[in-house]
Structure 1
Amino acid sequence: MATELQIAIIQTSLFWENPEQNRKSISDKIDTISMETDMIVLPEMFTTGFTMSPQNIDKNEGKTTLKWMQEKARQQNSAIVGSIPFYTNGAYTNRLFFVEPNSQYHCYDKRHTFTLAGEDKVYRAGSERLIVNYKGFRICPLICYDLRFPVWARNTVDYDILIYVANWPKPRVTAWDTLLKARAIENMAYCIGVNRVGFDETGHEYSGHSAVYDTLGNDLCFSKKESVLTAKLSKEHISTTRNKLKFLADRDSFTLAP
């Protein structure tokens, strides 16, 4: 059981609806990571950009990308995390995969589909939150628009790390910065936000602002440029802060209706 978790964030531009080219580009960036890394986090829909036309892509691409994630996880001896359009049971989902180095994987389907872009009409929404136990850390991975809904992220299960993978556009990046920090503070957990950069084919610009915040809302890393960011997360920081400031003991107990 680890007491620290070394993470890397791939903040990158994406090739529109081109899984093969995105896998190659991201693979090249992952290969530049020289330090031992426990977890590598990629943006939302990292093989395609935030497309509302997944039918333009081969339905088997999701399975191809999952196999690629398993191969990279084995090669790097690191978990790989990110979401892709995934076709299953006659429908598309915006599915996040958390792939461990031993090829075991966990998946989460985006709960809050982005109605402003019509995502709710294209992708089937998920209904269950995921908690992954990895190297002694309890991790809750979520996707983009989920960030605006604090009840869904509320730390009722004592997770250590909250992850948001995103395609969050530049005009609303102030909300991204503010809400990531808020989710860290209110849940007394590390909060990792991974966004993309560049323009997509619909004309939206993305300015990055990928970051990691500690349990007090202090940023451990931040960037606006295409880059690989790194941070070290500490179990001691979590336990020390929670033992000193027992805010979670006063949290409201509740369950979500289906």
Structure 2
Amino acid sequence: MKVAAIQMVSGISLDANLSAARALLDQAARAGAELAVLPEYFCFMGQHDADKLLLAEQTGLGTVQDFLSDAARELKLWIVGGTLPMATDDPAHAANASLVYDHKGHCVTRYDKIHLFRYDNGREAYDEAAVLRAGDTPVSFEMPTRHGEHWRIGMSVCYDLRFGELYRMLAADLLLVPAAFTHTTGQAHWEVLLRARAIENQAYVIASAQGGVHENGRRTWGHSMVIDPWGQVMAMQAEGPGVVLADIDLERLRSVREQLPSLQHRRL
């Protein structure tokens, strides 16, 4: 199955971000991808964290959800909508939600980011919990391919990457990591964490990132990539908008798990 990690440098205009995302999804579909994963905050990166609350959508209603459904149906492409703000019962907090749409435009599942990022090195400071409500439920789904294969796909978002226990619970063939890693933390930890998650779970990883300098002044690390179950980087783009394509193979997955059956050797 051909997959696509979509990298963006999203800004403060919803319309401009959706237009950019659609162009990249078109490119992925033309290249033969069956699954495309957009990055965290693909639809909006405002001047201030609280700005996203103004765009929070109700389940099944909203511009971003309509966009994802229409794009998936028109392109006949499974699309993971990075993340978008979804309303909660508290108007001061939204869920940072990743929605999956099948090739007919139906919403298959939703995952709300469980681990919320907080960081302060004296120069940069972030606290997602100020405006976001954490999810509490791991989510995976089954995806049939055009050739009749079935993939178990596990969902995560950005800061989740630091919590290996989540990926163990997902027990997936393919792990998704839409993200907006800061340049500082990404340069230090992004690739090594992604490769570790692939190796220890003997699974493919699709990591779709924000990558560049944004209108709000934030700089994200980028380096969107696809990694195989042996921990090898199959394809990667460092910065700027783009589509990272790779062919993933269930036989390769089975071969790695048979040659080194570490998943069967767990004692704890």
Q: Percent identity of the aligned residues? A: 28
Q: CA deviation at 1:157?
A: 5.2
Q: Which amino acid aligns with 2:95?
A: T
| Secondary structure of residue in 1 paired with 2:62 | helix
Aligned to 2:54: 57
Q: Does 1:224 align with 2:219?
A: no
Partner of 1:105: 108
- Aligned partner of 2:17 in structure 1 is 22
Instruction: Return 5+ residue gaps in structure 2 as ranges.
Output: 120-125, 145-149
Q: Which residue of structure 1 aligns with residue 193 of structure 2?
A: 179
Question: 2-side partners of 1:109 and 1:157: how far apart?
Answer: 14
Contact 2:226/2:244 (<8 A) preserved: no
Measured in 2, the distance between the counterparts of 1:170 and 1:250 equals 37
Matches of residues 36-75 of structure 1 in structure 2 within 5 Å? Answer: 36-49=32-45, 52-54=49-51, 57-60=54-57, 63-75=62-74
C-alpha distance in structure 1 between counterparts of 2:209 and 2:170, whole Å:
26
RMSD: 1.8
Conservation of the 8 A alpha-carbon contact between 1:54 and 1:85 = no
Count matched residues: 247
Question: In structure 2, what residue type is equivalent to 1:93?
Answer: A
After TM superposition, list the pairs within 5 Å mapping 1:158-173 onto structure 2.
158-173=171-186
Return the alpha-carbon distance in structure 2 between the equivalents of residues 109 and 252 of structure 1.
30
Aligned to 1:86: 86
1:148 maps to 2:147: no
Q: Give the distance between the partners of 2:159 and 2:171, measured in 1 at CA.
A: 22
Q: Deviations over 1:193-244 (max 9, x none)?
A: 1111222344321231111111110111011132111011100011111111
Once the two structures are overlaid, the 10-residue window that deviates more, 160-169 or 100-109, is 100-109
- Deviation sequence 1:37-59 (CA, Å, 0-9, x none): 21111100111127521356344
**TM-score between both structures, scaled by the size of structure 1:** 0.89
Unaligned runs of 5+ in 1: 254-258
CA–CA distance in structure 2, aligned partners of residues 30 and 15 of structure 1: 18
* Corresponding position of 1:256: none
The residue aligned with 1:122 is 131
- Distance across 1 between alignment mates of 2:107 and 2:55: 24
Higher alpha-carbon deviation: 231-240 or 203-212: 203-212
Q: Distance in 2 between the 1:36 and 1:66 partners? A: 23
Say which SS state the counterpart of residue 205 (structure 2) adopts: strand
Q: TM-score, normalised by structure 2?
A: 0.86
Deviates more, 1:120-129 or 1:58-67: 58-67
When residues 19 and 188 of structure 1 are mapped into structure 2, their CA distance, relative to the original with a 3 A threshold, is same
**SS in structure 2 opposite 1:221?**
strand
Cα pair distance change 1:182/1:126, threshold 3 Å = same
Deviation per CA, 1:163-219, whole angstroms, max 9, x where unpaired? 111001112223001000000000000111111122234432123111111111011
The 8 Å contact of residues 14 and 43 in structure 2, kept in 1 or not, is answered as yes
The equivalent position to 2:251 in structure 1, one of 232, 236, 240, is 236
Partner SS for 2:197: helix
